[in-house]
Structure 1
């Protein structure tokens, strides 16, 4: 998520690809939680993203979303290289070439046509028309296109894996000195450094 600061407000911009990658997260107890672990939790996550219109969730669709997440996280790991990737799945990442093919194939499942909409006196915008009747296919393809947009956009260069103790998230760096995904992770990292400095036994 990107926070844009002004004198009056903090606006949070959501990137669907980053939200998908963040469904693997630390559970607060030293372990890793998976928001897509069950059909019910996947439905709940999609509800939070306002992506559940027009279809019923089942195990097959959940599996497709999880596999797409595997591809996205593998490509996130490549994007942050040579820095280390998220610790959550560093040992079992999908090969980058396979991840790229999977992402592109998922995006290609829905044929879309860009249309220019220009209301009188308004600002022109791009809309897309889809002939795909299956909402499930549109969901997977839409998530894949969002990942393509993210990874081909300027925010890719600011993508980082949070290195705070127990954290496994990726985040977009929004200012020059940012090292962690959120302040609580910074607090844990500083506390761990302080503990290490003051509890090192001399050789």
Structure 2
């Protein structure tokens, strides 16, 4: 079993997973409007300081969606030589554009390292906005994605290829192929049906 994922990893994956299977054979997007982004931030309070007071507007939504597109393009690169998520296979940003978009977003809020050290725990460093710098959600998310992609958890990133799944996940054990058991079940059923079709 692996160590629990870092804050950057959790935020980066949560952002990527706002694109998901819609239950009908297509994909759904949790960030189609400012209300969706506001709800997502409320459900992920470690994504931004003062999450409880956050209310998205259209420019913030557009900036976050740009960071997400860059993140998913770079996730697809990270899982090579494996295939990317089926949701990304035909619409990935070129890697240089994804890198530029992510770096430009991350630079919008200057940050400083902040040390936290709870009792009976190892010290943890997190980036916080520099004194007087307003928090920028897209910048915070871009910095988390960069932290994840530059960190050790990236080696465990995989795309789930179970039927209808479009998720990325962290591989927790050597034989893990799918993001969750239900995806494994669907994949086994699909393989069984495919064998029957070919044999019949």
CA RMSD of aligned residues (A): 2.6
**In 1, are the aligned partners of 2:109 and 2:133 still within 8 Å (CA)?**
no
Return the TM-score normalized by structure 2: 0.86
The within-5 A match list for 1:143-154 is 143-154=141-152
User: Paired residue for 1:164, among 157, 162, 165?
Assistant: 162
The within-5 A match list for 1:53-92 is 53-92=52-91
**In 1, are the aligned partners of 2:16 and 2:68 still within 8 Å (CA)?**
yes
- 1:40 & 1:99 partners in 2: Cα distance? 26
Does the C-alpha gap of structure 1 residues 179 and 120 become closer, same or farther in structure 2, counting only changes over 3 Å?
closer
Greater CA drift, 193-202 or 95-104: 193-202
Does the C-alpha gap of structure 1 residues 192 and 133 become closer, same or farther in structure 2, counting only changes over 3 Å?
same
- 1:129 & 1:59 partners in 2: Cα distance? 22
Counterpart in 1 of 2:38? 43
Counterpart in 1 of 2:16? 21
- Number of equivalent positions: 193
Does the C-alpha gap of structure 1 residues 150 and 120 become closer, same or farther in structure 2, counting only changes over 3 Å?
closer
- 1:154 & 1:143 partners in 2: Cα distance? 18
Cα deviation, 1:139-193, whole Å, max 9, x if unaligned, reads: 2221111111110111111111100000000001010000000000000000000
Does the C-alpha gap of structure 1 residues 114 and 193 become closer, same or farther in structure 2, counting only changes over 3 Å?
same
Return the TM-score normalized by structure 1: 0.84
**In 1, are the aligned partners of 2:108 and 2:139 still within 8 Å (CA)?**
yes
| Structure 2 residues without counterparts, runs of 5 or longer | none
Question: After TM superposition, where is structure 1 displaced by more than 3 Å over at least 4 residues in a row?
Answer: 11-14, 115-129
Does the C-alpha gap of structure 1 residues 30 and 177 become closer, same or farther in structure 2, counting only changes over 3 Å?
same
**In 2, are the aligned partners of 1:108 and 1:141 still within 8 Å (CA)?**
yes
Q: What SS is found at the alignment partner of 2:25? A: coil
Instruction: Look at both structures and tell me which one has the larger radius of gyration over its CA atoms.
Output: 1
- 1:201 & 1:24 partners in 2: Cα distance? 36
1:13: how far off? Answer: 6.7
Counterpart in 1 of 2:99? 100
1:12: how far off? Answer: 7.8
**In 2, are the aligned partners of 1:111 and 1:132 still within 8 Å (CA)?**
no
Greater CA drift, 48-57 or 38-47: 48-57
**In 2, are the aligned partners of 1:150 and 1:156 still within 8 Å (CA)?**
yes
